[in-house]
Chain A
Amino acid sequence: MKCDLCGNNEAKYKYYEVDSEGVREMNICSECAHRKGIDFSPRTQELKVDNIVCKKCNLSFKEYKKKNRLGCTECYTNFRSKIDSILLQTHNGLIHKGKKPVKNAKLLSMKKEIRELQKTLEDFVKKEKYEEAVHIRDKIEKYQEELKSIRRNK
């Protein structure tokens, strides 16, 4: 796009002129910008930030601004400088103070074990092997207690 003022150079900046008739939008080159003595630095920075692209999901910050939605967890790292100020506007600081995920691996295996034991228990009951069933039931209860205590200490 050519500069709206000199018509020669490539336009580099968006420039808004305000007068009694309202706002006029122009695209101008760096030379004309310099001649008009306009300080483009914050805007330039803004443009630079807009062009940052998340290395993982390729979302640009400009695209983020359209829908206020990030593309992946890495966006939080890649747009850090901008995201922090966005978060501070709404939230109570930048540090999570809530619930943490349960320790996964151990719980997963325990739950699986309980499920298998429950199947065994049903089998024993069906076959009327009550003594064995009671034994399994106690085991399940013990596991469930342990599961609860892990969850409580999460």
Chain B
Amino acid sequence: MIESLNSKFPSWISNTGPYSDIVFLSKVSLYRNIEGYNFTIRAKDEEKSEIYDSLTEGIKTIKNFNNIYPIFELLDYEREFLFERHFIPYSLIQDGKHSAVVLNNEQNNILLINADEHLQISSISSGFEIEEPYNQCDQIDDNLNTEFVFSFDKKLGFLTSSPMRVGTGLKISVFIYIPAIVITGGVSDLIGDLDNNNFSMDGKYIDSGGVMGSLFKIKNEFTLGLSEDNIIEKTKKQIHDIIQKEIDAREYLIKNARYETEDKIWRSYGIITNARFLSLGDFLNLASAVRLGVSLGLIKNISILDLNKWTIQSQSGHLNLENGGNLDIREENILRAKLIRENTGR
């Protein structure tokens, strides 16, 4: 049943948004719990199944959420596929009992049942765009709130199992490519700066060698004591600062190490379009350099849209779903290389 998702890209992959060459996507989430039940971590199976039943039933009254995927019915690589599309957290790949994800047809609005909290309302936009996905979440929250009573405390706001989500329950994640900051050695300063302002910064794809593809996730840690508008404003300002830092670092590179930078970009282009084997790590690192090349106007026959699509398509769950499952690493590497070659006419 998940095959239908594979044949259609979410709206945030088939379109690009503001600052798309630097920001991959923006995801906004609101966390809510149903009054009268323990939080998921402490809820008994009967409680979870009651929450599951009432939420899946209540969601039917909301327009557009027509596609429900009970996680416990899915194969491992199908769960990975959902994780790769930013629909479910990694923890649900291992344990999806009593959990479901519900999507609208455009696959940009997501309802998650019985994951970190009873309910997670999320919306994803391409590029750097926070208001629009927040408005989507806000509206869905209002609609669901007429069907359910959410745990709420006058002083502390919406109550969540993690004290890091209490209050507004609002988390904003922005996935940002900062290859020039990485090359010029500015990452640890940036992490320190973000930490001081209560933002977290983590590599999106990590292996033993560190962060792959210079892609990082920036997220607000604070959720209490500020209004939703203030949290959005603060986050926007922070992300704008990082985008500016990346632009400055790129200018510095072009000014001071032009041939080295162009060489790295064109070598990466050569390998990614000709390779017969590509590990995920190789792909991510090469694609990040190619992305820089597209952004600097050097590479013209590959677009940011292509790179976004390949980044999602070249991951294990997607390759498996596309090719009937049970692929080993070697087969994945071959198929990944083939995907890029076929899309670049090689």
Q: A residues within 8 Å of B by Cβ? A: 56-57, 59, 67-73, 76, 83, 86-87, 90-102, 104, 107-108, 111, 115, 151
Contact = CB atoms under 8 A, between A and B. Distances in A.
16 contacts: A56-B38, A57-B42, A71-B161, A72-B39, A73-B39, A76-B159, A76-B166, A83-B163, A90-B164, A91-B166, A91-B224, A92-B222, A95-B155, A96-B168, A98-B168, A111-B147
- Give the dominant DSSP class at A's interface: loop
Nearest to A93: B225
B226 interface: yes
B105 interface: no
Contacts of A100: 152
Contacts of A67: 41
B228 A99 contact: yes
Contact of B38 (A68, A71, A107, A108): A71
A107 B149 CA distance: 12
A102 B146 contact: yes
At the interface, is chain B mostly helix, strand, loop or mixed? loop
Contacts, number: 115
Contacts of B152: 100-101
A104 B170 CA distance: 21
Interface of B: 33, 35, 37-39, 41-42, 61, 138, 141-142, 145-147, 149-159, 161-164, 166-168, 170, 198, 221-228, 230-231
A107 B146 CA distance: 6
A122 B217 CA distance: 48
Contacts of B41: 67, 69-71
Contacts of A104: 145-146, 149
A117 B242 CA distance: 52
Contacts of B167: 91, 96-98
A22 B62 CA distance: 61
Contacts of B150: 101
Contacts of A98: 157, 167-168, 170, 226-228, 231
